[in-house]
Chain A
Amino acid sequence: MSARLSHPSAPLTRRGFNHLVVGAGTAGAIGLTAACAVEPEEVEQEPADSDEPIELNFIWWGDAGRAEVTEAALDLYRADHPNVTITTEYQDSGPYKDKLATRIAAGDAPDLMAIRRDQLREYGDRGALADLRTIEAMDLAGLSEPVLAPWDVNGQLIGVPAGLNTIGFIIQTTVLDEYGIDLPDGDTWTWDDLATMANAITAASGGSIYGTAYEMATVANLYVWVRQHGEDLYTEDGQFGASEATIQAWFDFADEMRQAGGFPPAGFFDGTTSAAEASYIAQGRTASQIIPTNNFKSYNEACGGTLALLRIPGESTAPRRGQSIDCPHLWSISSQSSYQAQAAELLSFLTNELAAWEAMGTTRGVPPNAAVAEGLLPNLEADDVTATEYILGLQAEDLPPAFADPVGATEIQSKLADVAVEVEFARITSADAAAQLVATANDVLAG
């Protein structure tokens, strides 16, 4: 670092210094934002029956385990389609979403991709995703109307579920047994039952285990709470449908448990990973939490195989059902792809082919094709059977509809995360938090 200087007592002259600084400093500030624009115009398509060698790029998020089973399914497809080369990439979900944005902006969109529910319309409304109904090679016959309806936006089907999913309450039964607390009935329990159980666990364990701990800022949890209050977080026409009172109650309920001991104190959640092994319930620091049901197997394995999977409380007593099939994970085809027919054929294989699901299992949820789901059931491991039956049971009931999150949902989620922390640390009241969230949401959605 030290330059050799001509005069020993002048480490740096003024002019020499100025020269040094001019280039060094500010160059980095601007470079971040440059990208090129994509013209959303018709892209020339390779015919569906073409035998020409083509290359499909297919990307998703997830861990190495998910990648392994997905590749196994793809290998089946590759064997039948020698002219199709499938290149794949996968990443953790956070960086995945940032990278996808960059790739699409750079005009380098993958042909087939996984998209988060809360980002589907961010891409779809801007014309980045193909209308799957217009692609002849796309086989949608096995998917029921309720499965497809949420992703049918402005008359265009811009995604199909990569797996049916919802959330569930997992409870560590060994903790209940240890303290002689009864396992609630998952079909009929209420939020008050949850509070009673949670407070009892914390008290019985002398505070070493918290009865329950679920993320206040996870939107999938909030969907259910809001629906049970007779509202929708996002309505069908893309508005923010939750009232301040409902949001405030969401914060207040957890806060009451926190006061009573059943819910951990402020700052408890500081985990760096979403891995099941590192979860608080696997570490024995909490006795129950909410998870997406496709993760049940990994949680149960991490927790010694003694978890019970219950429905979200209040389902039998609330004015309206809260649980729905809330798929967080969808497949979409790029409107910029020249191989939409080929991508659709691959997507049809991944959606409707039992052999593909036998290779993949339920890592992304239950097959959206009911016949495939039924055929898969005998081949699943016990934990996946539990989660699959949970979904199939719900599906047989009359559930409220789910809707794709409107454009701007990402920003509303950051606000939810912010106010949740502010309430947790008692820096603002729950009423203020609710008012701020509703105001921000309305502001963002207004345009």
Chain B
Amino acid sequence: MSTSTAPSTTAPTPAPARRVGAAGRGTPRRRNEKAAYIFLLPWFVGLLFTLIPFGASLYLAFTDYNLINNPNWIGLDNFEEMLTDEDLLQALKVTGIYTFVGVPLSLLAALGVALALNKGIRGLKYYRAVYYLPSLLGGSVAIVMLWRYIFGNQGIVNAVLAFFGIDGPSWVSDPQYALSVLISLHVWTFGSPMVIFLAGLRQIPIMYYEAASIDGASRWRQFVSITMPLLSPILFFNLVLALIGSLQTFTQGYILSGGTGGPSGSTLFYNLYLYIEGFQRFDMGYASALAWLLLMIVAMFTAANFLMSRFWVFYDN
């Protein structure tokens, strides 16, 4: 993107100025942009339906809305309540652990499988589909239920452990282990970052590797000096999306704990806590305030991510 940004005070139309950088590809590019906006049209329409709830939620965050009676303005009370809310602390802890353990592990798994699949093996399409499948299913109720059974007292995991003479814990009902069951589910759904990694790997020109091997660079050296830098924007993209997605986890905790966040708050994800406050404890004003705090947290992490990306993401343009 080296398009000239100089103000076109003298040029009658912006087109010639653009051509300077875009090397004569202005017209197709503009056509592409138009196509992009047409494809985005449904999103813009949907935006209207998102903006109204956004506004309502922002207003409700400053009220005592209880789902039934009219909301009363209570100023910053909801936000003040957060300061002493132990459940909120627990929700932040659970979501934090889930994110900072689960996201790196799932990205590592995704990158590892993508690298393995990038070797031009036979039946790549088949493998790609198989590894992608869990991503489609991972957030579904059925899979979380399946996970519950797999890790249940009488489940496969403990049956395998018992075969080796290990007395497995109660993964689902012990507060010490319940979250790890969900982290393992998270890691298992590495498919969509994997597909993106795979696409990124295939964009790296083979000639770089050829040149490197002529110079005698080892496989590891090639990985560190060619693959990683050229893949870093993809890694960054996956990291940002995974982080945002992970901070908003809801279904897994809701299903595993039957909507309670239990055992003993060990699967009380932030969004689940928000849901409990709003729909089970009838404190929708507080739940709305929680939603805005989450938005700020997500925005903060995303901004930090972008800032840090300057130091490790390499754009080869």
Contacts and interface: CB of A to CB of B under 8 A. Distances in A.
Interface of A: 1-3, 5, 7-18, 20-21, 23-40, 94, 97-98, 101-102, 104-105, 122-123, 126-128, 266-270, 272, 408, 410-411, 414, 417-419, 421-422, 425, 427
Contacts of B287: 32-33
A11 B143 CA distance: 33
Contacts of A38: 68-70
B278 A25 contact: no
A8 B241 contact: no
A102 B279 contact: yes
B279 A25 contact: no
Contacts of A16: 1
A21 B240 contact: yes
A34 B53 contact: yes
21 contacts: A1-B199, A2-B198, A2-B200, A9-B203, A9-B230, A10-B203, A11-B199, A11-B200, A11-B233, A12-B237, A29-B295, A33-B291, A37-B65, A94-B259, A101-B279, A104-B67, A104-B68, A267-B153, A268-B153, A272-B152, A410-B281
Contacts of B315: 10, 12-14
B291 to A, nearest CB: 5
Given A30-B53, A94-B258, A98-B279, A421 B175 contact: yes
Interface stretch (B103-111, B213-221, B269-277): B269-277
B3 to A, nearest CB: 9
Given A12-B237, A421-B264, 10 more contacts: A1-B195, A5-B203, A9-B203, A10-B203, A14-B233, A32-B274, A33-B284, A33-B287, A123-B68, A272-B149
B65 A418 contact: no
B33 to A, nearest CB: 11
A186 to B, nearest CB: 30
Nearest to B175: A421
Contacts of B176: 425
Nearest to B196: A1
A33 B288 contact: yes
Nearest to B65: A37
B173 A269 contact: yes
Contacts of A270: 148, 152-153, 170, 172-173
Contacts of B52: 34
Contacts of A30: 50, 53-54, 57, 291-292, 295
B302 A21 contact: yes
B26 interface: no
B265 interface: yes
A264 B288 CA distance: 41
A147 B316 CA distance: 78
B96 interface: no
A332 to B, nearest CB: 13
B204 A9 contact: yes
Contact of B236 (A17, A24, A28, A411): A17
Contacts of B316: 9-10
A256 B196 CA distance: 56
Contacts of B231: 11
B303 to A, nearest CB: 11
A11 B53 contact: no
Contacts of A122: 282
Interface in B111-145: 145
Contacts of B145: 272
Contacts of B260: 414, 417
B252 interface: no
B237 to A, nearest CB: 6
B248 interface: yes
Which 5 interchain pairs have the tightest Cβ spacing? A267-B170, A2-B199, A34-B53, A105-B67, A421-B264
**Which of A1, A18, A39, A408 has the most chain B CB within a 10 Å cutoff?**
A1
Given A7-B317, A25-B298, A101-B279, A272 B148 contact: yes
Nearest to B87: A414
Nearest to B54: A30
Contacts of A37: 65, 69-71
A130 to B, nearest CB: 13
Nearest to B199: A2
B99 interface: no
A421 B264 CA distance: 6
A7 B287 CA distance: 46
Nearest to A104: B68
Contacts of B234: 11-12
B280 interface: yes
B280 A97 contact: yes
Contacts of A13: 1, 233, 315, 317
B294 A9 contact: no
Contact of A33 (B66, B169, B199, B274): B274
Contacts of A40: 68-69
Nearest to B43: A23
B205 A9 contact: yes
A94 B254 CA distance: 11
Given A1-B196, A13-B315, A268 B170 contact: yes
A11 B198 CA distance: 11
Given A11-B233, A26-B298, A268-B170, A34 B152 contact: no
A71 to B, nearest CB: 27
A426 B26 CA distance: 70
A127 B205 contact: no
Interface in B226-258: 230-231, 233-234, 236-237, 240-241, 244, 248, 258
B237 A17 contact: yes
A9 B262 CA distance: 48
Contacts of B294: 29
A349 B314 CA distance: 74
A155 B261 CA distance: 36
B91 interface: no
A270 B149 CA distance: 9
B67 to A, nearest CB: 4
Contact of A15 (B1, B248, B280, B292): B1
A39 B201 CA distance: 58
Nearest to B155: A270
Given A24-B241, A26-B302, A40-B68, A418 B57 contact: no
